Amino acid sequence: MPEKLGGWKTRLASYYPYYLIIPAILYYIAFWAIPAASGVALAFQGPKGFTLRYFQYVLRDPYFYQALGYTFTFLVISVTVEFILALAVALLINTNFKGASLFLFVALIPMVLPEISYGAIWATGYAQHGWVNSLLVHLGLMDPAQPMSWLAYGKIARWMALLIVAEAWRGLPSVMIILLAGLQGISKEYGEAARIFGATGFQTLRKITLPLLKPSIQTALILRAIGAVQIFVIITVIFGHRNLPVLVEEAVYYFRELHQKQLGAAYALIIMGIVVTLSVLYLWLSGSFKGEEGRGE
């Protein structure tokens, strides 16, 4: 009798891992899967059933092409700039130096600051009598009689440059931390071996360090790209609404300002398509699809 009870108890206990994850799964179904699926339905559902009219509307909207163009221009340039600078900095500081932990806290600041604070920093910075110009005057780099008007309307190329600087402020430290973590995982012996065999610093970097750093580089690039596709708050705070339209702004605009739920959903679906493509690429490159079923490896 006790033996039987034991068997029953063991059986019950073997389901333990599932009991513990069932709440999470139910939650995901209720508040993620159902909304996500109904978002797809929303974008394709007209008054008389299935329709493509919302997407046709989006494809006829000149703002859509602008938004798409600006979003991707921003993505490509800002991710490239951040990556190159962050890699340079990470390589330079990949040693144990005094004050490293304080420095890491400083590097965390832009990552954890609210987007509004981030927007306020650069909106007050780029204003004609803002802190960027003031700093340049104090440094003797600008004539106080002729402050630069950074935000002059319609100078899209200049705006893009300003946006990339602001975004570098926010994104560069996070890319640097990911790369630094990767660099610290690389055994110093590889570099020493390369040096003994006569490799120059540049050769070591190109043939040893960068290939070993590849997983971290992929992580950093794709995470930044996913973030860049969804840029929105900072743009409206600095440049105003729809002056430099981007995809998320259009989704929010149609949904919230015009109460066109289906158009908002259509835009959201387009953003989703881009982000999911990037995410799957990331998961595939990082080898997550062929991971072992193990106990917390």
Partner 1 sequence: MSELRLAPPVADWRRFTGLTLTYLAVAGLALFILVPVYFLFILAFMSRAEVYSWPLPLFPKHFTLDNFHFFLTINPKIIPSIWRSIEVAITTILIALSIGGLAGYSFARFRFRGKNALKLSVLFVRMYPGVAVAIPMAVLFMRLGLYDTPFPIALALNYGVGNIGLTIWITASIFLGINEELEEQAMVLGLSRMGAFFRITLPLAAPGLAAAAIYTFIGAWNEVVIATLMTQFNPTLAAVTYHTVAAAAGSLHLQSAGGAFMAFPALVFTFIIKRYIIQMWGGVRI
265 near partner 1, judged by CB under 8 A: yes
Sign of the four-CA dihedral 111, 116, 121, 127: positive
Among candidate residues 111, 188, 115, 123, the one with its CA nearest the CA of residue 162: 123
Binding mask 9-28 for partner 1 (x = CB under 8 A): ----x--xxx-xx-xxx-xx
Residues 68-87 binding partner 1 (CB under 8 A) are: none
Q: Is 169 left (phi over 0), alpha (psi -120 to 50) or beta?
A: alpha
251 near partner 1, judged by CB under 8 A: yes
147 near partner 1, judged by CB under 8 A: yes
216 near partner 1, judged by CB under 8 A: yes
294 near partner 1, judged by CB under 8 A: yes
Tokens matching residue 139: 């440094």
Residues 27-46 binding partner 1 (CB under 8 A) are: 27-28, 31-32, 34-36, 38-39, 41-42
269 near partner 1, judged by CB under 8 A: yes
List own/partner pairs for 275-280 with CB under 8 A and 24 or more apart: 275/226, 275/229, 275/230, 278/222, 278/225, 278/226, 278/229, 279/222, 279/226
Q: In terms of CB distance, is 73 or 130 closer to partner 1?
A: 130
Among candidate residues 279, 288, 81, the one with its CA nearest the CA of residue 164: 81
Residues 151-210 binding partner 1 (CB under 8 A) are: 169, 172-174, 176-178, 181-182, 184-185
Q: What is the DSSP letter of 288?
A: G
49 near partner 1, judged by CB under 8 A: no
CA angle, 245 then 249 then 254, to 5°: 110
Which amino acid appears at position 108 of this protein?
A: L
Q: Which stretch binds partner 1 (CB under 8 A): 50-58, 106-114, 189-197, 204-212?
A: 106-114
Figure out which of the listed residues 114, 140, 198, 287 binds partner 1, where binding follows CB under 8 A.
114
Question: How many residues bind partner 1, per CB under 8 A?
Answer: 110
